Amino acid sequence: MSDLSDLLAIAAQHSSHGLILLDQDLKIVFFNAWIAKAGGLKEDTSIGKTLEEVFKAPVAPRLNAVLNNAVQRGQSALLSPAFTPSPLPLAHPNHPDLLMKQKVSVSSFKKGASRYCLIDVSDVSLAANREIKLREQTKLLHQTLNKLSHILDGVSEAVLSTTCDDYMVQTVNKAAEKMFGVAERDLVGVPLGRLVAQLPTHKADQTVSFETETEYGLGENKKSGFLSVTVNSQTSFDVLTWVIKDISALKDTEQTLIEAKKIAEEASKQKSRFLANMSHEIRTPLNGILGMSDLLWGTTLDLEQQEYTEMIRKSGETLLAIINDILDFSKIESDKIDYDIVEFSLTDWFEDVIGLVRPQAHFKGLDLGYHLDFPRGARVKGDPLRIRQVLFNLLSNAIKFTNEGGVFVRLRVDIGPDERAWLFLDVQDTGIGIDGPDQEQLFLPFVQIDGSSTRRYGGTGLGLAISKRLAELMGGDLTVDSRVGDGSIFHFKIPVESLQFSPMGRPSLAVAELRVLVLSDHPFSARHLEKMLASWDVSCALFTDLAAMDAAGIESTDFHLVFLDCAAQNDTVLIALRGRSAFAEARFVLLRQVSPTQSPMKEAKNDPYVVSVHKPLKSGVLVPLLTGFQAPEPSARKQPTTPSGNSNIKIHMLVVEDNPVNQKVIGRMLTKSGFHVDIAENGEVALSMLGEQPFDLVLMDCQMPVMDGYQATAEIRERFAAQDFRIPIIALTASAMAGDRERCLRAGMDDYLTKPVKQDALLQMIKKWVDPVLQRRSEAGA
């Protein structure tokens, strides 16, 4: 018996619960190791004491009541942690600051006459924590599931899961119910193959996508449409996920777009073809104009005729440039324009442009003046053609919209705030002007300010738009200041790459001492003259007319040089002044408009003291006037350079060209340089001529009736392939469209010239191909 009692005592020490045995007076009889550890109790100091004595803290009142009941009435009880979380003051196993959560039961029993009670304590702190965690995770899982099903029900695609072998539907979303026209309960358990006529086969661990036109739906709800079906398989899940969508509407839209794109591309191609044709149609007569003016230049011409001829040529070139720019308009719009950055002299460049518009201005009786506000001889780097295009446009517009008064240009080079050199061009007119709101419209393509002005002033409305875009593409800007009735000033500025001042020799004459009188009734012309003289450090006395000069009382001054700009009064003023003693030694410069109606003055013809010049006075003309008072020499006539001197006579050329004017122009250019030339009017004629006699070179037009240049070249290459001498064929083409060069070379031609053909370029090209021929011939002869 004692053995068993010892054994039980040891067993009680090993219990996973806390055990405390109390006697009838609630004094401790026994406690096990669990309690010793949890409550820090020591056996020698604890036995025979009450709970409150050993724990040094009160126990829960509920536990006290239960213990009293147990020893007095023999009743057993249970304490739930819900009502009494910590009956005994024991510490939490992990958090010493907190109390352990306990489940306590109190059992009452009797041994002999004595009553005892056993307190059984178990720690539920961790269990409670685990429960809470599990609960939180379950809640999260529920939320996630809810979210997922919400998403699934929200998507527009039908989403279904099926078994892997027979594709039996397991779950569906709202879109699937809608798509197949039946409720979820009628879809679950149905093989997917019954819902959709054509299905892809799934592949393990892959996503298979599939588009097909098929029937789908159940029973009465059968539809047909273009379906996109995606099936996903993952070996870790024993289910397939299907995403199905009816994309019929998308397919329709796609088809419409493809057709629309086709039409648009076709239209674009047609436009390109039209442009190419137009280009050819315009270039052919232009070729005639330029060629003929070149030939005319070579004949004996007086000064005036030379000037007019030059004007024809320059106008033609400008027209050519305009055609090029219209062709380039699409390029400008897509910012794909090319630049040719070269160094050029600002003065020469500017006066060239002025020369082009001068006849226009003078024809309308407009005064045209300018002020070159930069060091003499300034050279800049930029694209002179593109800048000229803008300036020419601004000048043409100014003249077009001005009926009285004139146009004044100020050209200035300055260092901008960005420390780069900038070119500033202000074009001022006294025209109709534009109001504020309309100024914004001004730079839009195809817009003219007022419908009526389209008829009154003509034009495409493209000019300012191109100019503005060009200015911006070159890094500059184009703006306008204007008020209706007050005329307009267009400000154009662009950065130029570098700024150089070539040391241009000053005239040896001490021009500063020169006394100069200007009589001008045109404010712009007067300003022009004044500024130009100032640039040579020459000051002048400036009056509007004779009366104003007399009123100023400068009768006694001796003048060396007198500029007269009094239009019809020039003659009378000249006669009046020459009668006065102060003007005995004076030389007179009569400024006159270039106008076919104005005949040169008879009296001035042979008078060494009087010279006539065109308005506006060019700086190149001013220098000799200041220094030696000689009439400006006509510009040196350039003789066309002949490629190889007399040897040209031995060169036999074939020109294949259908247009009679071009036949004549090119023929004349070549015969004048000493070549022996034959003409063929189309490819077929050329072929038969080449078969009859040997030629050294062929100039081949590309677009011709009967047989065009490409075909003719191909035939020549094929027919004469066996000959030792491969005859050079140079293409002459009016179509300047991209890709033409490649087409010519592919057809078997050797080189390429764009119409209108210029004499210099033509001769240079011929020299390039003829020189080797001549050399071989001389070697063979030697």
Partner 1 sequence: MNLSETHADLLKETFNIGVGSAAEALSEIAGGEEIILTVPQLRMMTLGDLGRQVRDVSGEDICSVTETFRGPFSGKAMMLYSQRESLELVRLMLGDMIPVEQIREMEGEALCEVGNIVLNACLAAMADMIGSEIETDIPQLKVGHFEKVLHQEAVGSDEHSILYLRMDFTMARYQLNGHIGFVFDLNSMTSLLACLENYLNSMLEM
Residues that bind partner 1 (CB under 8 A): 61-62, 65, 69, 73-85, 103, 105, 107-110, 127-128, 131-132, 135-136
Closest distance between partner 1 and the C-beta of residue 82, in Å? 4
How far from 366 is each of 321, 490, 596, CA to CA, in Å?
A: 25, 18, 15
Go through the chain and tell me how many residues it has.
Answer: 782
User: For residue 653, what is the enclosing H or E element?
Assistant: strand 652-656
Count of H-run helices and E-run strands, the chain = 25, 28
* C-beta closer to partner 1: residue 79 or 687: 79
Contacts 24+ apart (CB under 8 A), 189-197: 190/218, 191/166, 191/167, 192/160, 192/162, 192/167, 192/168, 192/242, 193/167, 194/218, 195/169, 196/227, 196/229, 196/244
Q: List residues bridging with 213 in a β-sheet.
A: 226
Closest distance between partner 1 and the C-beta of residue 75, in Å? 5
Could you give the CA distance from residue 7 to residue 10 in angstroms, rounded to a whole number?
5
User: For residue 772, what is the enclosing H or E element?
Assistant: helix 759-781
How far from 626 is each of 370, 530, 610, 734, CA to CA, in Å?
A: 19, 14, 13, 47
Backbone phi, psi, residue 411, to 5° = -115, 125
Closest distance between partner 1 and the C-beta of residue 54, in Å? 24
* C-beta closer to partner 1: residue 109 or 237: 109
Closest distance between partner 1 and the C-beta of residue 32, in Å? 18
Could you give the CA distance from residue 369 to residue 406 in angstroms, rounded to a whole number?
8
Closest distance between partner 1 and the C-beta of residue 15, in Å? 16
Closest distance between partner 1 and the C-beta of residue 99, in Å? 14
Could you give the CA distance from residue 778 to residue 780 in angstroms, rounded to a whole number?
5
* C-beta closer to partner 1: residue 60 or 665: 60
User: For residue 118, what is the enclosing H or E element?
Assistant: strand 114-123
* C-beta closer to partner 1: residue 76 or 396: 76
Closest distance between partner 1 and the C-beta of residue 84, in Å? 7
For residue 201, give every residue at least 6 positions away whose Cβ sits within 8 Å of its Cβ, in sequence order, or none.
208
Could you give the CA distance from residue 348 to residue 210 in angstroms, rounded to a whole number?
71
Closest distance between partner 1 and the C-beta of residue 37, in Å? 24
Closest distance between partner 1 and the C-beta of residue 80, in Å? 4
Q: b/e for 85-124, b at 16 or more Cβ within 10 A?
A: bbbbbbebeeeeeebbbbbbebebeeeeeebbbbbbbbbb
Could you give the CA distance from residue 520 to residue 531 in angstroms, rounded to a whole number?
14
* C-beta closer to partner 1: residue 62 or 560: 62
| Cα 484 from chain centre | 35
The helix/strand/coil state of 761 is helix
For residue 358, give every residue at least 6 positions away whose Cβ sits within 8 Å of its Cβ, in sequence order, or none.
368, 594, 614, 615, 616
Closest distance between partner 1 and the C-beta of residue 102, in Å? 11
End-to-end, the C-alpha distance of the chain in Å comes to 149
* C-beta closer to partner 1: residue 69 or 612: 69
* C-beta closer to partner 1: residue 75 or 248: 75
* C-beta closer to partner 1: residue 103 or 283: 103
For residue 299, give every residue at least 6 positions away whose Cβ sits within 8 Å of its Cβ, in sequence order, or none.
none
Closest distance between partner 1 and the C-beta of residue 71, in Å? 11
* C-beta closer to partner 1: residue 72 or 764: 72
Closest distance between partner 1 and the C-beta of residue 79, in Å? 6
| Cβ atoms of 171 and 193 closer than 8 Å | no
* C-beta closer to partner 1: residue 101 or 386: 101
Closest distance between partner 1 and the C-beta of residue 113, in Å? 12
Could you give the CA distance from residue 565 to residue 542 in angstroms, rounded to a whole number?
11
Closest distance between partner 1 and the C-beta of residue 70, in Å? 9
Could you give the CA distance from residue 453 to residue 463 in angstroms, rounded to a whole number?
15
Q: Other CB atoms closer than 10 Å to residue 698's CB: what's the count?
A: 25
* C-beta closer to partner 1: residue 130 or 719: 130
* C-beta closer to partner 1: residue 58 or 193: 58
Closest distance between partner 1 and the C-beta of residue 4, in Å? 23
Could you give the CA distance from residue 68 to residue 56 in angstroms, rounded to a whole number?
20
DSSP track, 373-406: ES-TTEEEEE-HHHHHHHHHHHHHHHHHT-SSSE
User: For residue 414, what is the enclosing H or E element?
Assistant: strand 406-415
* C-beta closer to partner 1: residue 78 or 534: 78
Which of 723, 663, 716 shows the shortest CA–CA distance to 690?
716
Closest distance between partner 1 and the C-beta of residue 145, in Å? 18
* C-beta closer to partner 1: residue 24 or 535: 24
Closest distance between partner 1 and the C-beta of residue 143, in Å? 14
Please list the alpha-helical segments (H only) found in 209-345. 248-297, 303-333
* C-beta closer to partner 1: residue 135 or 506: 135
* C-beta closer to partner 1: residue 68 or 630: 68
Closest distance between partner 1 and the C-beta of residue 52, in Å? 19
| Token duo for residue 595 | 């106008």
Which of 632, 621, 588 shows the shortest CA–CA distance to 347?
621
* C-beta closer to partner 1: residue 115 or 245: 115
* C-beta closer to partner 1: residue 103 or 469: 103
| Cα 552 from chain centre | 61
